[in-house]
Structure 1
């Protein structure tokens, strides 16, 4: 298994590559002048984005196409999407993982983050949308969003939501994302929701959800956004879900949607993590760390069926410290092992046969995953 503790040369760094390699950039619009422009671009669209930094260091036209975002727009139009995992095993240090090449890569450090002790120590959520990674957290007297751009390989401050919040339910679909619920700086549980457009970097207020909730989870399924579980007012555990139809701009409540063991027996303000859910090919799955099993949701019956065990090595504390994500056509469990400071990434493709987890990557990073998201572009 090959792993590399390096990030491919980014577009932002490409202009400096001549310091290392000499000025070998080609001003031609094509890497191969003998090829037609469209043919050349089509070849580049099918290259792995792990190679884009190196290609950009050789060709100015390609570098411009990459930094403008036009390359990823063309990839989306032609259905060419690679899914990478982005996760942190420290408060602010991020890694990327390419599940095809099975390679780990460092993301750059968030600038001036060491001086922002409040943000480092606060609860944080992450969300990948378009070619951006958003990291939600708190400043001293307000909320703050840091944005990592795949186009520049840099972090910056992103415009905040109309209603600042943390402990949200969120998910993305292409270049659009929705956040719902959460709580404000005073700890009030929220009922509001917002939509983010990564093309404009703007937030739009949506109709309120039916039930205020925090520490919930969000996902897209069949083109609709769902928020599920969490904690409601009076600190009661919620097992309901809600579905948002973007065409009709309406929320529909789904009773008893989340497979809680016994919500009535759980103490108020439970310390359990938000539901660990993921969608592959419009099918919803949940990881249950209490019983260490994987479940699948039956949409017609509104029930959950047990499929089999989670990876034996995965370890969590009431669901904290482990991530469960959809990555293209496979489900991933990302978490630390019971012994040692090792994070493992295990994957399973539901259509590939009986449940059998495959070890995709292992790295000494610690054994607790703070945040995790998947970017497809």
Structure 2
């Protein structure tokens, strides 16, 4: 052994001794010194470990290391997970266990992210809430009919649910964030398109739409069902009072709402309906969209919920409205800085992004520009008109197409 090697001290070895104790919340600042209290717990745990046989001790340490890894990675942005997937098989297995995402929900670490498919693109793109980070999803292994046809997109938990028509039938593709893969899901109980939908935690709700009858003709339906991302199953709900297509859905104050659309006679509906999970029943809301302008072929109502308030982007006048649920009336909050009326509401994204409203479309201030602009605002109905801020540093290196085919927000 050389003299230099002799001077190198042996590395210190530390023993993780707590087996079942919960990790502290790293986001809470302690107001007292816990060092002395912790020493007693450590000594007790050491005594417990020495009384265990080797097999039990190894199991305890393995369990602790697993819980520790989950707690650490739950604090990391989910945009980094795909990179960490290349580290080793162990992290991939940890990610697929869904424990990381469960802990993120329980600890309040979840963040909204935006999934978007623009015209001319073959893959969905995932953005963070500030549109500073993005990554492209794998291509859906479907046929050309699915790619070029109309599709509906909604999230449920960490699943992205996309419904569309392939050559033979209506299908559902499910993207799982945990494994970064598309899977052809089990079919809806009543396969259909052009329905209203809304996410609520790990569930997604679906109502109405157009289904193909046995004779090949289209039929407007009033059926409803829900998808659970934990069990990956579909469950039927009670039917709505009205048949409707091209309508919109949202979750407002604990209930699933369906607004507008057209009935089986292609007549525009001004009524809405709310669904109560406890009673499995629908309540008809007459004149919920009374006074709104309807054009054909107009997009479904562009709606979003922030802080338990329902907002609507009136596409004909490019105006923002807020709903008074008690008076069943709408209040005008001013003009939105996008050209939503350019294609009667189609090609524009209007979503809730945490405590903000998000709108993506052609800028009214730059009518000559064919690219999309991203605006956000923090709505407050009591303050009246909203102040919109443009995201001028949106995804450097990515040019958003002038027409958005699908857009939804996931909380993960």
- Report TM bin, short chain: 0.7 to 0.9
Question: Are 1:52 and 2:72 matched, yes or no?
Answer: no
Which sits farther off after the overlay, 343-352 or 298-307? 343-352
Task: Report if the CA contact (8 A) 1:215-1:274 is conserved.
Answer: yes
Q: How many Å apart are 1:69 and its aligned residue? A: 1.1
Once residues 92 and 260 of structure 2 are traced to their aligned partners in structure 1, the CA distance between those partners, rounded to angstroms, is 44
Once residues 226 and 163 of structure 1 are traced to their aligned partners in structure 2, the CA distance between those partners, rounded to angstroms, is 20
* Higher Cα radius of gyration: 2
Once residues 239 and 77 of structure 2 are traced to their aligned partners in structure 1, the CA distance between those partners, rounded to angstroms, is 40
Question: Are 1:332 and 2:332 matched, yes or no?
Answer: no
Superposed CA offset, 1:44-83 (max 9, x none): 3222212223344446544322122111011112222110
Once residues 46 and 139 of structure 1 are traced to their aligned partners in structure 2, the CA distance between those partners, rounded to angstroms, is 39
Q: How many Å apart are 1:351 and its aligned residue? A: 4.7
Q: How many Å apart are 1:261 and its aligned residue? A: 2.7
Question: Are 1:375 and 2:391 matched, yes or no?
Answer: no
* Residues 310 and 343 of structure 1: CA distance in aligned 2, closer, same or farther (over 3 Å): same
2:83 partner SS: helix
1:77 partner SS: helix
Q: How many Å apart are 1:167 and its aligned residue? A: 0.4
Question: Are 1:240 and 2:271 matched, yes or no?
Answer: yes
Once residues 341 and 262 of structure 1 are traced to their aligned partners in structure 2, the CA distance between those partners, rounded to angstroms, is 26
Q: What is the aligned counterpart of 2:112 among 57, 78, 83?
A: 83
Partner of 1:205: 236
* Residues 118 and 38 of structure 1: CA distance in aligned 2, closer, same or farther (over 3 Å): closer
* Residues 44 and 117 of structure 1: CA distance in aligned 2, closer, same or farther (over 3 Å): closer
Partner of 1:71: 100
Q: How many Å apart are 1:211 and its aligned residue? A: 0.4
Question: Are 1:366 and 2:393 matched, yes or no?
Answer: no
Q: How many Å apart are 1:357 and its aligned residue? A: 1.5
Q: What is the aligned counterpart of 2:320 among 274, 294, 299?
A: 294
Give TM-score, length-normalised by structure 2. Answer: 0.76
1:156 partner SS: strand
Question: Are 1:169 and 2:196 matched, yes or no?
Answer: yes
Superposed CA offset, 1:263-315 (max 9, x none): 5xx6xxx2000000000111100011211111100111111101121124666
Q: How many Å apart are 1:358 and its aligned residue? A: 1.7
Give TM-score, length-normalised by structure 1. Answer: 0.83
2:269 partner SS: coil
Question: Are 1:191 and 2:209 matched, yes or no?
Answer: no
Aligned length: 337
Partner of 2:157: 130
Partner of 2:253: 222
Partner of 1:348: 377
Partner of 1:110: 140
* Residues 152 and 228 of structure 1: CA distance in aligned 2, closer, same or farther (over 3 Å): same
Q: How many Å apart are 1:36 and its aligned residue? A: 7.1
In structure 2, stretches of 5+ residues that fail to align are: 1-57
Partner of 2:299: 273
Q: CA RMSD of the aligned region, Å? A: 2.4
Task: Report if the CA contact (8 A) 1:314-1:333 is conserved.
Answer: no
* Residues 65 and 94 of structure 1: CA distance in aligned 2, closer, same or farther (over 3 Å): same
Task: Report if the CA contact (8 A) 2:317-2:341 is conserved.
Answer: no
Partner of 2:347: 321
Partner of 2:124: 94
Question: Are 1:308 and 2:319 matched, yes or no?
Answer: no
